[in-house]
Chain A
Amino acid sequence: MSELHLAVALDGAGRHPAAWREPGARPAELFTARYWADLVSEAETGLLDFVTFEDGLALQSSSATGPDERTDRVRGRLDAVLTAARVAPLTRHIGLVPSVTATHTEPFHISKAIATLDHVSRGRAGLRIQVSGLPHEARHFGRRTVPLPEDGLYEEAADHVEVVRRLWDSWEDDAEIRDVATGRFVDRDKLHYIDFEGDHFSVRGPSITPRPPQGQPVVSAAAPDEEGAAAYGLIARTADVGYVAARDIEGTRAAVTAIRQARESTGLAEAPLHLFGELTVFLDEDAAAATDRLGRLDALAGETFADGTTVFTGTPVQLADLLQERREAGLSGFRLRPGVLAQDLPALTRRLVPELQRRGAFRRAYEADTLRGLLGLARPANRYAARTPA
């Protein structure tokens, strides 16, 4: 059977709000480089395709309307792109995929930041594009009237990614010529204005940063179950990897079908699209112990944990079964969200991965140097490069 792709989501001490209170969670180190380097190194020992770094332009909150004033949960985050860049020189193979909020950022800055992440990691960069309709987050910028219309946000994010992608191609690979005879450093015929004009912004280009090693770093986006068609459209229009959050195999199948159909009507219809299932996992060698642990965490948090997708408790072997079953809905991989990073990340890398390897369902060594390579995506041609006349 073909191999699965696996990514792991990194955020604070883990997905569960009480994760930071678990033994080994290192809550006082959440804002240090060492903590993040250790997490990514652990993921790399498990030969995972990539890690994602959660991010947001507001303080975490359990409320959609503003800060929740809670003092019993992790609050505060380091910038995801910079955290990824900080660990890049310390790792060699694993992909680094920071989250980026399209709603409040400049596509020009994001394009060169991810291109640079690709340069410093030698071809292992991606991004996870997201939108924010939170009014309190918009007030951190003061430039937009709230509330922001949900559908418009996804349209805008698709435009944002279009600009980011065009800017990556705005330098042809061989634009830098260093021609001493003519004194020209670049061949300016190989630098391109992108001249994007959209409803929300226009961007002229070219980028200030040369084309990244992967040509096009990996673009990923999520389709939260509750947001449906608009989010599916963003994946269809922009992504190399889409994350499907669904509570069961039927829901997964429906989402996969909808996204694949939406893809057909876009300019990327021919481009490969990975769809990854999203699962939050609590693992133990004993299934009952995993359930007990979640129960104990819920008691600490004072509420029953829910995460907008399947919340799995059980053994690594049971999880391997579930992944193999769920993939039949049309998935090529999974983004697993450890409930408690300190416990569930090593359980993934040291227990789940060997189990999948035993079943022939996961790589036994890194077989490529770039993230596109790990995902089986070819290095794309530059959209602006002159075509050889037929």
Chain B
Amino acid sequence: MSTKPLKQIHLAAHFPGVNNTTVWSDPAAGSHIDFDSFVHFARTAERAKFDFLFLAEGLRLREQGGKIYDLDVVGRPDTFTVLAALAAVTERLGLTGTINSTFNEPYEVARQFASLDHLSEGRAAWNVVTSWDAFTGENFRRGGFLPREDRYTRAQEFLATANELFDSWDGTEIVADPGPGRFLRDARAGAFTHRGRHFDIEGRFNVPRSPQGRPVVFQAGDSDEGREFAASSADAIFGRHGTLKEGRAFYGDVKRRLAAYGRTHDQLKILPAATFVLGDTDAEAHETAHEVRRLQVSGATAIKYLEHVWNRDLSGYDPDGPLPDIDPEVGENTIAPGRASVRQFHDPRETARQWRELAEAKNLSIRELVIATTARQTFIGSAATVAESINELVQANAADGFILVPHITPGGLDVFADTVVPLLQERGVFRAEYEGTTLRDHLGLAVPGAEPAGEGVVS
């Protein structure tokens, strides 16, 4: 028996979003917009003592073949506004929002996060994403396109600038002493100057230091640059690698990079996204999982997915028939502009060749092929099996915990909260009560100290 103390698992809940993981056709599926859905979801997560709730973001309705994509959930509320409202109906749950660094300005985003952190008494977190496509940029006055070499440097400078704004108040400025009439101790509160390649700004930040100092920062990129960015500046990674082998490789790689920035392993949490399907028995869960996959990938969805690779209109193909024998259109992807998912196919012809081979070997139709090759459920089984899998992965350093993505809104988390969480609590690997009040407390992250005053320069 090992004497090494068990790692504590971190759990979070991703509100089901605009992608084909979300099954909207289920009779139990509710609104993705009504506030009641968010309240239900958040309260379930808080009842289960989860670390935080997570919201994704997309700033242009998805299109394919020049038309708005209508097969998945379409539409979502504004991230900040929903999180601020959820702060009123929860007390401890962390509130993590995905906010784009391309279509915003540091001053505005910093004051929104600082405000959210005040209004939630220290529960705000920011998943920093960066996109650069002119397609999304058409919705914004500043436009969107960034040349490749600027993508990460701008995101990095955006975050560094926001941090300078958060740190422009150290938390001791407000005296609010009516007798002598001193509201501020320091007339220079909030002063900042940032001269950089992407931002050249100066003045006074107008939100006093918030309970967490800075919001907890998430990063989601998986590229080499993304990992480096996370190692240098993030508190947590919203990751993709939920299996033992891939998870351990990713975990080891990213944690190794921390030392170069003078950071320790516990200062960056690795939290992969994970789906789950539960059943009374493992066999029943697998049966349900198969059904869920068929609901997630309809014939029409399969064709649309294939078009991402083929980069051409495949609407004439039968989803229950064989893969197209024509080759993908190579070059700039024009079929689904702005979609991150198309960029994962670096060599569409090679992907097509592999898929044809797989389909022929296993006699798969287009739909079956897409079901087989796209993301499967991470955890399938009885509550005991799922609890065991989660714990194993965390104890084996494949992850520090998981961001769970239910497929039903808003009740998809309920069964997990009711059946898996108690088992993890019994094993002593997941909190039975919140021990702290802030998200930093839940994640075991220190409050950042104010950096020494000075001019921030990022070049």
Contact = CB atoms under 8 A, between A and B. Distances in A.
Interface of A: 18, 20-22, 25, 27-28, 30-33, 37, 56-60, 67, 69-79, 81-83, 85-90, 104-109, 112-113, 115-117, 119-120, 122, 136-137, 139-143, 171, 176, 178, 180, 183-188, 191, 200-206, 208-210, 300
A201 B144 CA distance: 13
B140 interface: yes
Contacts of B118: 31-33, 78
B58 interface: yes
Interface string B84-101: 110111000000000000
A262 to B, nearest CB: 26
10 contacts: A22-B178, A25-B178, A76-B190, A79-B112, A89-B88, A140-B203, A178-B24, A186-B70, A204-B139, A208-B61
Given A81-B81, A185-B24, A208-B58, A88 B183 contact: no
Contacts of B24: 178, 185
B41 to A, nearest CB: 14
Nearest to A112: B78
B127 to A, nearest CB: 17
A30 B178 CA distance: 14
A200 B141 CA distance: 8
Contact of B71 (A22, A59, A183): A183
A106 B169 CA distance: 26
Interface in B21-76: 24-25, 33-35, 39, 58-61, 67-68, 70-76
B111 interface: yes
A86 B121 contact: no
Contacts of A178: 24-25
Given A28-B176, A86-B84, A141 B187 contact: no
Nearest to A122: B35
A185 B73 contact: yes
B103 interface: yes
A171 B107 contact: no
A19 B273 CA distance: 49
A166 B202 CA distance: 34
Interface of B: 24-25, 33-35, 39, 58-61, 67-68, 70-78, 80-82, 84-85, 87-89, 103-105, 107-108, 111-112, 115-116, 118-121, 138-142, 169, 174, 176, 178, 181-190, 199-208, 298, 300-301
A89 B89 contact: yes
Contacts of A188: 67-68, 70
Nearest to A184: B70
Contact of B183 (A20, A112, A203): A20
Contact of B81 (A20, A117, A137, A201): A117
Given A58-B206, A113-B81, A106 B71 contact: no
Contacts of A104: 105, 108
Contact of B141 (A27, A76, A201): A201
Given A27-B178, A76-B206, A208 B76 contact: yes
A76 B298 contact: no
Contacts of B140: 106, 108, 201, 203
B184 A28 contact: no
A30 B104 CA distance: 27
Contacts of B108: 57, 104-105, 141
A20 B75 CA distance: 43
Contacts of B103: 106, 108-109
A21 B189 contact: no
Candidate in A73, A86, A107, A183 with the most chain B CB atoms within 10 angstroms? A86
A183 B23 CA distance: 11
A77 B119 CA distance: 12
Contacts of B88: 33, 37, 86-90
A69 B188 CA distance: 7
A180 B77 CA distance: 23
B76 to A, nearest CB: 6
A205 B139 contact: yes
B60 A208 contact: yes
B109 to A, nearest CB: 10
Closest 8 CB pairs of A and B: A201-B141, A85-B84, A79-B115, A27-B176, A21-B178, A116-B81, A204-B138, A116-B78
Contacts of A141: 105, 107-108, 201
B81 A77 contact: no
A178 B58 CA distance: 20
Given A108-B140, A203-B139, A205-B139, A74 B203 contact: no
A98 to B, nearest CB: 10
Contacts of B206: 56-60, 75-77
A176 B74 contact: yes
A259 B68 CA distance: 41
Contacts of A119: 33-35, 77
Contacts of B107: 57, 140-141
Contacts of B70: 184-188
Given A82-B81, A82-B84, A139-B203, A208 B75 contact: yes
Candidate in B139, B174, B208 with the most chain A CB atoms within 10 angstroms? B139
Nearest to A79: B115
A82 B181 contact: no
A120 B82 contact: yes
Contacts of A27: 176, 178, 183
Contacts of A22: 178
Nearest to A117: B81
Contacts of A112: 77-78, 81
Given A89-B35, A210-B33, 18 more contacts: A20-B183, A30-B176, A33-B121, A59-B204, A71-B183, A71-B184, A75-B189, A77-B206, A82-B112, A82-B115, A106-B103, A108-B59, A120-B81, A122-B35, A136-B203, A171-B75, A209-B75, A209-B78
A106 B301 CA distance: 33
Nearest to B116: A82
A69 B187 contact: yes
A210 B75 contact: yes
Contacts of A37: 88
A183 B298 contact: yes
A388 B172 CA distance: 63
B201 A33 contact: no
A80 B11 CA distance: 31
B80 A113 contact: yes
Nearest to A69: B187
Contacts of B25: 178, 180, 183
A204 B35 CA distance: 27
A372 to B, nearest CB: 18
A66 to B, nearest CB: 8
